[in-house]
């Protein structure tokens, strides 16, 4: 092999190694579900910030607690997501959006996946115990709700699996709050209620978009079993239930209550519009995208309008 061929071979080998590393990182992110982690950390931060506001504490005095809270929450969520992928490997190969997960393709050995899931969970709970035992207990409950109650019990049996799984997605604000104050305030529980209710319209809209996938995998999601009509009605009921909740958060200020109310009214209006649209999937996309923006705007507003009392 001449010098030019040798150099070319080294370049190709380097490129292959880079591609392999990139692919492994992509698989790892799919395994821990970074999108779910990011959105839940946003709400956990919101709960943490709310607790500082309600207890008249300063953020700078609780930086270690904040780090433990974010690390613990992220790891517990990652652990639950990894075990979810491990358990669902027998059906994920059927659905287009999940058939490239590493538990399906085999790029990460299943023994490694299971070890990661358990390890992340234990480590995450450990970090939460460094804040308060209440935060750790809530984290364990959220993990239990997602892994046991949702993934292993209800997901393949009942159309109410979405509501059952909503418990896990609603606890991050409670974890964040409990890390500062284990005696959860009324405001903390109202945020929990909002997050619990928010998830069903969010996931039902997604289930409408992926109805054929769920049907192929024999997962009894509401739109796959009973159709789009009843799913739309359920979405309307849940979004309507959000309407009164901001008025229990008057301690956060009139502007915040107004923003939260506008978000609720806007979501309900788009929901009602679904009964006058011919393209159900387009409407489901609108609802899904709105739900993501709802979450982001709600918690940003929560942080913004409670900041002056913290610093």
| Burial zone of 58 (CB within 10 Å; 0-12 exposed, 13-18 middle, 19+ buried) | exposed
Condensed to tens digits (0 to 9), the pLDDT of residues 138-168 reads: 999 999 999 999 999 999 999 999 999 999 9
User: Which of 205, 297, 196 lies closest to 245, judged by CA?
Assistant: 196
Is the pTM above the cut of 0.85?
A: yes
Q: Give residue 106's region: left, alpha or beta (phi > 0; psi -120 to 50).
A: left
For residue 113, which phi and psi values (nearest 5 degrees)?
-60, -50
The CATH number given to 34-304 is: 1.10.600
Give the separation between CA 203 and CA 150, rounded to whole angstroms.
13
Q: Are 190 and 177 in contact (CB under 8 A)?
A: no
Give the pLDDT score at 151. Answer: 94
Show the tokens assigned to 53.
């506001």
| Weakly modelled stretches of the chain, pLDDT under 50 | 7-8, 11-12, 15-16, 18
pLDDT digits (tens, 9 = 90+) for 91-127: 888 887 777 888 888 888 999 999 999 999 999 999 9
* DSSP structure string for 131-161: T-HHHHHHHHHHHHIIIIIIIIIITTT-TTH
pLDDT at 24: 83
Give the C-alpha separation, 185 to 220, whole Å. 36
State how far the Cα of 191 lies from the Cα of 277, in Å rounded to an integer.
32
Give the start-to-end residue ranges of the domains of the chain.
Answer: 34-304
CA 84, 219, 292 angle in degrees (round to 5)?
65
* pLDDT given for residue 1 in this prediction: 55
Helices (H), 33-147: 34-55, 63-87, 89-92, 102-105, 110-129, 133-144
**Max intra-chain CA distance, the chain:** 77
pLDDT at 306: 87
């Amino acid at each position: 092999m001449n010098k030019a061929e040798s150099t070319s071979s080294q370049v190709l080998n380097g490129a292959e190694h880079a591609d392999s590393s990139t692919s492994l990182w992509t698989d790892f992110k799919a395994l821990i579900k970074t999108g779910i982690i990011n959105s839940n950390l946003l709400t956990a931060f919101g709960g943490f910030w709310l607790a500082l506001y309600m207890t008249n504490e300063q953020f700078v005095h609780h930086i270690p607690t904040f780090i433990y809270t974010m690390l613990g929450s992220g790891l517990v969520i990652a652990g639950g997501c990894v075990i979810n992928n491990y358990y669902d490997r027998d059906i994920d190969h059927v659905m287009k959006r999940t058939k490239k997960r590493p538990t399906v393709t085999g790029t990460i050995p299943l023994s490694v996946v299971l070890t990661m899931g358990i390890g992340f969970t234990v480590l995450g709970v450990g970090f939460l115990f460094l804040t308060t035992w209440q935060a750790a207990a809530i984290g364990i409950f959220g993990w239990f709700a997602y892994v046991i109650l949702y993934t292993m019990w209800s997901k393949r049996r009942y159309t109410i699996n979405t509501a059952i799984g909503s418990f896990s997605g609603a606890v991050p604000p409670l974890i964040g709050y409990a890390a500062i104050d284990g005696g959860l305030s009324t405001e903390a529980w109202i945020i929990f209620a909002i997050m619990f209710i928010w998830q069903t319209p969010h996931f039902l809209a997604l289930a409408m978009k992926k109805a054929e996938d769920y049907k192929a995998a024999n997962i009894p999601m509401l739109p796959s079993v009973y159709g789009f009509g009843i799913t739309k009605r359920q979405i309307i009921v849940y979004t309507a239930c959000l309407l009164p909740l901001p008025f229990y958060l008057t301690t956060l200020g009139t502007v915040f209550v107004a923003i939260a109310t506008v978000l609720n009214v806007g979501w309900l209006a788009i929901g009602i519009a679904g009964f006058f649209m011919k393209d159900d999937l387009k409407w489901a996309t609108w609802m899904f995208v709105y739900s993501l923006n709802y979450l982001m705007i709600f918690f940003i507003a929560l942080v913004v309008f409670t900041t002056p009392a913290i610093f």
